[in-house]
Amino acid sequence: MDRKELKTSDFFFDLPMELIAQDPLTDRASSRLLMVDKKTGERKHEVFKNIIDYLRPGDCLVLNNTRVLPARLLGVKEDTGAAVEVLLLKRLSGDLWETLVKPGKKLKPEARVTFGNGELTAQVMEVTAEGNRLVKFFYEGIFEEVLDRLGEMPLPPYITHKLKDRERYQTVYAKYDGSAAAPTAGLHFTKELLARIEEKGVRTAYVTLHVGLGTFRPVKAENILEHHMHSEYYQITAGTAGLINQTKREGGRIICVGTTSCRTVESAADENGMLTECCGDTEIFIYPGYRFKVTDCLITNFHLPESTLVMLVSALAGRENVLSAYEEAIREKYRFFSFGDATFFTDSFTKYPV
């Protein structure tokens, strides 16, 4: 398919609402796993904890160790007492944040909002071209501690159930605060499973990409080339770059856990697929026709119809293979989206005994 002819509607599929997972499973690793051969489209049904059987010694798992902020703040407008919701998107500097507010019409520049019992106050400084608000916060003590007391997890709009344990919207290896959404492919891993994977001789390399809510932004342009990607901050350490480079030199596979890990390494790699220590902002948009420089295989969740994430997966495994796999997952009643089941787009169904 000509890249110039790619339409958003080419990535549509009809998903029954009842397949959208509303709650995480009790056991993270007990979710289902749909394995898909990225070349042939052949499929195999598994349980996620058995993914270890399909990893080879010498492979490298790339995981995103970002941590989700309790970024949803519920407060009141200082002068009227009207209810207001402020969602933290990105820290710009110090106590100045880019935010999404509801209802937007009530929060013009100079408007002030209080949270809790006045423990936290926010003042709108500016309205961006996209309609977001630049907000400055005022408080005593440490901002992260205040936020931890007052904030709620910013669950995606398609999840309507209240989260009982906020740690279930964090990966077990989450480390660096900064995300407005979880890198959900990693939610299936337990510490025990990761330990067994490492004991098998599989490397684990950690990158950081702070996930923005733009990840849920619908593609409104029919021609996908007209879609503008959101910007997200990423960081790759020298140790991680070295592990990935060594794996590639020795012939091991780079298996990205989640589209965020994939976007990070693809943003940072040179033309030969080699990485160096780096950090910055990425707006990379991966869709069919893209030549992957680092990623060999991908572990990821099921994504929304017509989303940039379905387009990324289609770039790796082919649009027809992906949509056919999704159709089978719907027939088999797989659970979709953030708290749902997983897919493994791989080059082999061969098992490698522990």
Give tens-digit pLDDT for 73-119: 999 999 999 999 999 998 999 999 999 999 888 899 999 999 999 99
Neighbouring CB atoms inside 10 A of 316's CB total 23
Mean pLDDT of 283-287: 96
Average of per-residue pLDDT across 45-58: 98
CA 135 – CA 83 distance, rounded (Å): 17
Q: How far is CA 47 from CA 31, 210, 221, 325, 340, in A?
A: 6, 28, 37, 16, 13
Query: With 60 as the cut, is the pLDDT of residue 2 above it?
Result: no
> How far is residue 43's CA from residue 344's CA, in Å, rounded to a whole number?
10
For residue 251, give Cα distances in angstroms to 37, 71, 123, 201, 292.
19, 41, 54, 14, 16
Nearest-angstrom CA–CA distance, 223 and 9: 9
* Averaged pLDDT, 197-211: 98
Contact (CB, 8 A) for 310 and 8: no
Output the six-digit token pair for 67.
């941590």
**pLDDT attached to residue 25:** 97
pTM of the model: 0.94
Q: CA torsion 25→165→303→85, rounded to 10°?
A: 160
Q: How far apart are CA 110 and CA 131, in angstroms?
A: 15
pLDDT mean over 14-33: 97
- Of the candidates 249, 311, 314, 251, the one whose C-alpha atom is nearest the C-alpha of residue 275 is 249
Mean pLDDT of 287-313: 97
